[in-house]
Structure 1
Amino acid sequence: MKRFFGLLLLFIFTNVAYSQELLDLMPMPQKVERKEGKLYLDSNFRLSINGNPDVRLYKATTRFLRRLDEQTIVWFKQDQITSTVTDARAILNIEVSRPAKVVLKEDESYSIAISGGKIKVKATTDLGAMYALETLLQLVQADEKGFYFPNIEITDAPRFPWRGLMIDVVRHFIPYEVIIRNIDAMAAVKMNVLHLHLTDDQGFRIESKSFPKLHEKGSNGKYLTQEQIKDIINYASDRGIRVVPEFDMPGHASSWFPGYPEYASAQRIYEIETKYSHFEPAPTMDPTNENLYPFLDQFFKEMTALFPDEYIHIGGDENSGKQWDANPKIQEYKQRHNLKSNTELQTQFNHRLQDILSRYKKKMMGWDEILEPGISKDIMIHSWRGKKSLNEAAKKGYPVILSHGFYIDLLHSAQDYYLNDPLSESKDLAANELSNIYGGEAAMWTELATAETIDSRIWPSAAAIAERLWSAQEIRDVRDMYRRLDKLNNKLEFLGIAHKKNYEVMLKRLANGTDIVALKTLVDVVEPMKGLSRRKQGITYYTYTPLMMAADAARPDSKVAREFSYLIDDFVATSASHLADSIKRQYQIWIANHENLKNTMRLAPATRELEPVSENLKRLSEIGSGLVSYLQKKSKGKLKEKEKISETQLKEYGAFFKEAAKPRANVEFVVLIKATEKLLDLVQKDN
């Protein structure tokens, strides 16, 4: 019963107080206190700014008014907000102490007080005020009288100062407009770092005026111009978001060498790679070539002038060193300099990179492979291999952020990302060591994502990570997270994120112009294969491989499957008859859908790979519906002896579930199978 009535109870966490009226805030603020009363909106709603903000706040408040307009269709009379706008009649008063700098560890705190028909926002910096505006947009509710803000008091500040999203624009080129719309979504959930992975084996995706052959020969014409980069940086800065570039070296460097092969460790003709794998021997920069360092110095002089952030990410990961092992000159250099391993050679390379970046007043950042003895303590370590390296770096005094467990390209559930706390395995660290853990980044690699599908891979999962990095550690109620995530998901669409729109487009393409109802019913409930498993199916994926199949359209975290699973959980806990009826109705929909989908398949060849998936879903639904009917009759004492399910039959059901859990057409419906197995377990216990 506790589970069934969970959403009707008050949700109370440490430092957060709820009213009986659930709020749709995400990330959840540090302290929320709901008061009696409401502030209704009408066209006379006005705002005023007092204090000493940066000019970005005037632009942000103007965007706030227009978004509030669009959200409520109230048509506010107030137009552009400028420094000359002061209004004693203002309902929303914003007070800011000083302009913010868009830098690490800037003050991002704010407070909101709504009462007596007024809204007061206080913040030390305009960044905090901008976050308050995002919270206000999430607070808007409606009743029979219209739209309103609830009377409330909020005190809020982030738990971690680094809350990032890494977008790989290389493997599949991600163009300017996709990056821009994702910046808007990041701002909506209070993320503050956009990490752009700009170079890798499959492309050099940024214009270099100093060395134009880098992008001319290393990109197939797909790259971001410097004017676009400047616009991205300015657009992000206006929303309080830092932009950190990554130039991967000495490995993952194939795209540097079509234009400048003289800096490679093996001399040959190079082309950018078109397939996704670890290449052996991997094309790698030659750190013993003294001409490499003036080249990199000039390159970083250009790039550090372009990117204002204090950090430059140099990658540094996954260098097997096999090109170094095969090069006699490099081996002779190692012997001459008493370097016992390739790791020591790479550490020497990193020292020289750090010297270059220091000349341009930048700090170096790299993946956790660069954490080797002798590396300067002001280097940021980016942990991707696990929390062991995170804690090791923090213990040694390095600033460090976490991406392990936040790889959203692996298509795990939002729940998995949400419960991955950066400090969950850091109990042995002292307070000063814990302070070296600055936060984390959602990592979106694009081997199996395109400009068409990337939004559906980032969102809404990245919002769950944003809350983990902003909100109190004790905020961990998964069902309530999903409730709020579903509300936010619609608002992300209003901001221009194409995760829902493109889903429909892809289904229409798959259906070859036929009706998509049956196809959508199936794809709504399946999920793409998780982790790296899809890449291990014997198919070679290239940069030009079309990613337009059902596995590419399917959402990583099916809402239909999840909510059905919750329905079964509640039925198992309560045996409520209305829940049983709802479960059987849904099973019947999936049973009937199989024949409907077969009709679609006749004219849509691209959907035919889904036939065994649909057949298994039908069979699963038949079994599940039968199990629910059995449990209903048993609970009412109406089960006849001949209607009992034999042990042999139960074992056959179990064997089917195991077989059906295997991916087909690169999709799976494991969530549904696990849910139906709970019915089977209940029947087995009753037997």
Structure 2
Amino acid sequence: MPSSVQVGSGEFAIEGSFAVRFEGFKEPRLDRARERFLRTLRSETGIPFLLDAPESSAKFVVHTDGPSQVIQKLGEDESYSLTVSADGVQLKAANPLGVLHGLQTFLQLVRITPEGFSAPAVTIEDKPRFLWRGLMIDVGRHFIPLPVIERNLDAMEAVKLNVFHWHLSDDQGFRVESKVFPLLQMKGSNGFYYTQAEIEHVIEYARDRGIRVVPEFDMPAHATAWFVGYPNLASGKGPYEIGKEWGVLDPAMDPTRESTYQFLNLFIGEMTRLFPDEYFHVGGDECNGKEWDANPKIQEFKQAHNLKDNAALQAYFSSRVQKIVTSHHKIMEGWDEVLQSDTPKDVVIQSWRGRKSLLDAAQRGYRGLLSNGYYIDLNQPASEHYLVDPLEGIQDKLTPEQAASILGGEATMWSEFVDGENVDSRIWPRTAAIAERYWSPASVKDVPSMYARMNEEAVRLQAYGIEPKATEEQMLERLSGDTDPVALRVLASVVQPPKGYEREGLEHNDTSSSLNHLIDTVPPESETGREFALICARIAAGNASESDLHTAQRWLTLWRDNDAKLQPELGKTYLTKELVPLSQSLHTVAEIGLDALDRIERKQPMAAAMQGEEVTALEAAKKPQAVLLLTVAPSVEGLVKAVPVQ
């Protein structure tokens, strides 16, 4: 939602003669933006626009005042104004960044009418609320192929995100070619890494779309993959293997050896030359200190330097690394743990712990980002992410200068349970809702409106290569061995993965585990389950429409009857055998729901004992089965509890 919108009268018709003319500052990046814009518009409309149409007749005029920075900087002007009338379109911006955003806004306005495709007359003045609007993708745990990275950058441009935080190393993999220390990728990647030429390509690809690329190399912990090729970096004895398990592993860099910092100086020097952005992320999170505690030389070092605990030792390490990063003319960024009493004020703190640590950093004069609440790998609904605001609950405790130090936030896609096949479905479309939180005024927080517009955006993102529904269908076909798995599709529509870290306690999963089960196939939030919950809430409250009652009846009947169709199919593949109890649960829940719906409509009471039995059955159905949640069970429980008791 733009900062300011004034709706006019009339429509701007989009026809085959549509063309775009640039005025003022011009550069090849703008020409490429026009080509992408026209290709996307063609995808939205099916109209074959000419990429080389004569500009003299163009009714879409773009005026750019001047250039943006050669290397995109934090805080550049990203504002634009867009005026659409029946006679033409005017897009004005101070630099190409605003132009890129304005073009995407116009694409969002395009709609089909009885007369054809058009954009409504409107005047928009727009700028972002936060300067730093990021998406982090972890490629250390599961490698994400280059084409997937590219299409996610395309989608980031579509929703006006401007920072791609690339988490490039972790215990399970080191993913960048180092020419100075080649054993990093040769022994630490299992062959899955990006060449420096590919990195340079991504950086240019992102810059074309108004996106900065900030690399992260996690240290001193989450670094097992480093030690496979360079064991002398580590605090333990080794030998080391690439991490296979998830979670917090013990290996950590030795912060007491000068050779560690000599290595890091050469490595960071190489990487800062490769990545031009002024910020360099060094991780710094979740060092459990077990290797430090077991190393007598490290304990002697702590005593000799009056370091009372491992937190103080990590502060010493972070201070040394910060000086290295600064010596290479970069600004260090790190997770909460890098904030210590003597941390230099230019270090940017990324908070994964929550607003309390973000508030602490801001009050102490540090710039910060919020990621807590935006962990899109945890399968929370879009509404939960949408209502998290970096400044909410802390702004009144900050001076205006301290509030301005909250730069924004980042959605974080950790990759324990995703790979290149299903990662899109975990990022989109929920990240579009997070992007609006970063861009739009704080007052824009109507959840039903967000869902309606987010679902439209999900359709629009198909033009950018983001097609999670198509991927889900392909995975369902593979699961079932059927080219049209109708009954499995019905079951899949009402289940979703458990939220938070619950999956880790329900099944063992490591780097060798296949991500090809139903839990890996379905999206994080069941749209059918969400809509059914809203319908049931209206029915239970006594304000349902006839359409609500009809939809609930139709869906419950479909789910009740689906088990008889699905059960004969589930035994055909080893991937679907685990779904037998889940399908039976859906049948039971639907039967209970149909009875409750009938009683509510006929105002027929239920015996207290029967209600108790049904609630008990529904409570059991709410528990994970095949590591999946049956999303309709809580809604049916609400219907049962709405039935009068006799």
State TM-score, norm by structure 2: 0.97
User: Partner letter of residue 50 of structure 2?
Assistant: K
The answer to whether residue 221 in structure 2 is matched with residue 261 in structure 1 is no
The answer to whether residue 67 in structure 2 is matched with residue 67 in structure 1 is no
User: Partner letter of residue 480 of structure 1?
Assistant: S
**Paired residue for 1:531?**
500
Tell me, yes or no, if the aligned pair for 1:206 and 1:224 is still in contact at 8 Å: yes
The answer to whether residue 410 in structure 2 is matched with residue 441 in structure 1 is yes
The aligned length equals 642
Measure how far apart 1:573 and its partner are.
4.4
1:395-406 equivalent positions in 2, closer than 5 A: 395-406=363-374
User: Partner letter of residue 334 of structure 2?
Assistant: G
**Paired residue for 2:590?**
621
Tell me, yes or no, if the aligned pair for 1:51 and 1:98 is still in contact at 8 Å: yes
Match of 2:633 among 673, 677, 686: 673
**Paired residue for 1:656?**
617
Identity %: 44
Gaps of 5+ in 1: 1-27
In structure 2, how many angstroms separate the alpha carbons of the residues matched to 1:60 and 1:573? Answer: 52
Measure how far apart 1:227 and its partner are.
0.7
Match of 2:208 among 219, 238, 261: 238
Measure how far apart 1:301 and its partner are.
1.0
Tell me, yes or no, if the aligned pair for 1:54 and 1:98 is still in contact at 8 Å: no
In structure 1, how many angstroms separate the alpha carbons of the residues matched to 2:425 and 2:299? Answer: 47
Q: Against the structure 1 CA distance between its residues 224 and 113, is the aligned structure 2 distance closer, same or farther, given a 3 Å change threshold?
A: same
Q: Which digits, 9 at most, give the CA deviation of each residue in 1:559-601, with x for residues without a partner?
A: 1111122222333342433321221111000011011111211
1:126-275 equivalent positions in 2, closer than 5 A: 126-275=96-245
Tell me, yes or no, if the aligned pair for 2:4 and 2:124 is still in contact at 8 Å: yes
Measure how far apart 1:674 and its partner are.
2.5
In structure 1, how many angstroms separate the alpha carbons of the residues matched to 2:434 and 2:542? Answer: 30
Q: Which digits, 9 at most, give the CA deviation of each residue in 1:52-106, with x for residues without a partner?
A: 24431221012111211221122223428xxxx7x34221111111111221111
Tell me, yes or no, if the aligned pair for 1:62 and 1:79 is still in contact at 8 Å: no
Measure how far apart 1:529 and its partner are.
1.4
Match of 1:48 among 6, 10, 21: 21
**Paired residue for 2:577?**
608
1:539-618 equivalent positions in 2, closer than 5 A: 539-571=507-539, 572-618=541-587
Gaps of 5+ in 2: none
Tell me, yes or no, if the aligned pair for 1:254 and 1:270 is still in contact at 8 Å: yes
Match of 2:61 among 69, 93, 106: 93
Secondary structure of 2:515's aligned partner: coil
Q: Against the structure 1 CA distance between its residues 74 and 578, is the aligned structure 2 distance closer, same or farther, given a 3 Å change threshold?
A: closer
Tell me, yes or no, if the aligned pair for 2:214 and 2:277 is still in contact at 8 Å: yes
In structure 2, how many angstroms separate the alpha carbons of the residues matched to 1:554 and 1:291? Answer: 48
Secondary structure of 1:152's aligned partner: strand
User: Partner letter of residue 413 of structure 2?
Assistant: M
**586-595 or 510-519, larger mean C-alpha shift:** 510-519
Measure how far apart 1:630 and its partner are.
1.2
In structure 2, how many angstroms separate the alpha carbons of the residues matched to 1:442 and 1:464? Answer: 10
User: Partner letter of residue 681 of structure 1?
Assistant: K
Tell me, yes or no, if the aligned pair for 2:216 and 2:282 is still in contact at 8 Å: yes
Match of 1:316 among 284, 288, 292: 284
Tell me, yes or no, if the aligned pair for 1:38 and 1:148 is still in contact at 8 Å: yes
**Paired residue for 1:370?**
338
Tell me, yes or no, if the aligned pair for 1:387 and 1:404 is still in contact at 8 Å: yes
State TM-score, norm by structure 1: 0.91
**401-410 or 321-330, larger mean C-alpha shift:** 321-330
Secondary structure of 1:308's aligned partner: coil
Secondary structure of 2:315's aligned partner: helix
**Paired residue for 1:24?**
none
Alignment RMSD: 1.4
Measure how far apart 1:612 and its partner are.
1.2
**Paired residue for 1:647?**
608
**346-355 or 391-400, larger mean C-alpha shift:** 346-355
Measure how far apart 1:514 and its partner are.
5.9
In structure 1, how many angstroms separate the alpha carbons of the residues matched to 2:135 and 2:73? Answer: 16
In structure 1, how many angstroms separate the alpha carbons of the residues matched to 2:405 and 2:261? Answer: 31
Measure how far apart 1:152 and its partner are.
0.5
Measure how far apart 1:277 and its partner are.
2.8
Secondary structure of 1:33's aligned partner: strand
Measure how far apart 1:605 and its partner are.
3.3
Q: Against the structure 1 CA distance between its residues 605 and 218, is the aligned structure 2 distance closer, same or farther, given a 3 Å change threshold?
A: closer
User: Partner letter of residue 191 of structure 1?
Assistant: L
In structure 1, how many angstroms separate the alpha carbons of the residues matched to 2:292 and 2:574? Answer: 48
In structure 2, how many angstroms separate the alpha carbons of the residues matched to 1:459 and 1:386? Answer: 23
The answer to whether residue 450 in structure 2 is matched with residue 477 in structure 1 is no
In structure 2, how many angstroms separate the alpha carbons of the residues matched to 1:604 and 1:339? Answer: 58
Measure how far apart 1:387 and its partner are.
0.9
In structure 2, how many angstroms separate the alpha carbons of the residues matched to 1:179 and 1:46? Answer: 30
Q: Which digits, 9 at most, give the CA deviation of each residue in 1:29-64, with x for residues without a partner?
A: 111111110111111212111112443122101211
In structure 1, how many angstroms separate the alpha carbons of the residues matched to 2:26 and 2:350? Answer: 33
**Paired residue for 1:4?**
none
In structure 2, how many angstroms separate the alpha carbons of the residues matched to 1:211 and 1:112? Answer: 49
Tell me, yes or no, if the aligned pair for 2:611 and 2:641 is still in contact at 8 Å: no
In structure 2, how many angstroms separate the alpha carbons of the residues matched to 1:332 and 1:553? Answer: 51
The answer to whether residue 503 in structure 2 is matched with residue 522 in structure 1 is no
Tell me, yes or no, if the aligned pair for 1:53 and 1:100 is still in contact at 8 Å: no
In structure 2, how many angstroms separate the alpha carbons of the residues matched to 1:336 and 1:512? Answer: 65
In structure 2, how many angstroms separate the alpha carbons of the residues matched to 1:579 and 1:534? Answer: 33
Measure how far apart 1:357 and its partner are.
1.2
In structure 1, how many angstroms separate the alpha carbons of the residues matched to 2:537 and 2:487? Answer: 27
In structure 2, how many angstroms separate the alpha carbons of the residues matched to 1:189 and 1:316? Answer: 30
Measure how far apart 1:288 and its partner are.
0.9
Match of 1:58 among 31, 41, 57: 31
Tell me, yes or no, if the aligned pair for 2:40 and 2:463 is still in contact at 8 Å: no
Match of 1:291 among 244, 256, 259: 259
In structure 2, how many angstroms separate the alpha carbons of the residues matched to 1:512 and 1:246? Answer: 40
Q: Which digits, 9 at most, give the CA deviation of each residue in 1:122-149, with x for residues without a partner?
A: 1111111110000101100111110001
Q: Which digits, 9 at most, give the CA deviation of each residue in 1:168-214, with x for residues without a partner?
A: 00111111111111100111000000011111110111100001011
User: Partner letter of residue 301 of structure 2?
Assistant: Y
In structure 1, how many angstroms separate the alpha carbons of the residues matched to 2:546 and 2:62? Answer: 52
**391-400 or 330-339, larger mean C-alpha shift:** 330-339
In structure 1, how many angstroms separate the alpha carbons of the residues matched to 2:129 and 2:527? Answer: 28
Secondary structure of 1:98's aligned partner: coil
Tell me, yes or no, if the aligned pair for 2:13 and 2:86 is still in contact at 8 Å: no
Secondary structure of 1:268's aligned partner: coil
In structure 2, how many angstroms separate the alpha carbons of the residues matched to 1:578 and 1:258? Answer: 62
Tell me, yes or no, if the aligned pair for 2:216 and 2:281 is still in contact at 8 Å: yes
Tell me, yes or no, if the aligned pair for 2:255 and 2:317 is still in contact at 8 Å: yes
Tell me, yes or no, if the aligned pair for 1:53 and 1:125 is still in contact at 8 Å: no
Secondary structure of 2:123's aligned partner: strand
Tell me, yes or no, if the aligned pair for 1:54 and 1:100 is still in contact at 8 Å: no
**156-165 or 426-435, larger mean C-alpha shift:** 426-435
**Paired residue for 2:315?**
347
In structure 2, how many angstroms separate the alpha carbons of the residues matched to 1:380 and 1:517? Answer: 50
